[in-house]
Structure 1
């Protein structure tokens, strides 16, 4: 079977991290990319889920709460003493 060269450009740190991971798995970068490509061709799709990093409802609510706290810090109680805070929280 004839082979061909493929050139891929990527962030240097990402390449280093990938090489370390693949080495630990007993693979070279080339072997890992070939395995990915074979799987993609076999399944006729990207062989893993690709999605945007969209926060869930709980995370969105927490972000909104922090924004409110930043906008009006006087409306929220703060603590200078962890023991005092824990005592009040455990009431």
Structure 2
């Protein structure tokens, strides 16, 4: 199989932090990126949950996020087909 070159730009601090992490896992950054791409292809999606940095949230916001995740997983939770329907139910 022929190889192709993939180039990307990223700030130095992020690259350094990623290299340290991957080295601690026994990987280099190229292998880690290759693993990510292969898993994305295999799963046909981003192979992990994308969340904003949690250090930016208050405890009450983190609790609300967890509650929303729990409700989303609960098949018995009421569902709404529109924001209008939700707002009507809040009256």
TM-score class, shorter-chain normalisation, is 0.5 to 0.7
TM-score (norm 2): 0.57
TM-score (norm 1): 0.57
Counterpart for residue 63 of structure 1: none
* CA distance in 1: counterparts of 2:30 and 2:11, whole angstroms: 17
* CA distance in 2: counterparts of 1:47 and 1:4, whole angstroms: 22
* CA distance in 2: counterparts of 1:26 and 1:53, whole angstroms: 25
What CA RMSD, in Å, does the superposition of the two structures yield over aligned residues?
2.3
Runs of at least 5 residues in structure 2 that lack an aligned partner in the other structure: 63-91
* CA distance in 1: counterparts of 2:6 and 2:38, whole angstroms: 15
Secondary structure in 2 matching 1:20: helix
Q: How many residue pairs are counted as aligned between the two chains?
A: 60
Of the two, which has the highest radius of gyration? 1
Counterpart for residue 58 of structure 1: 60
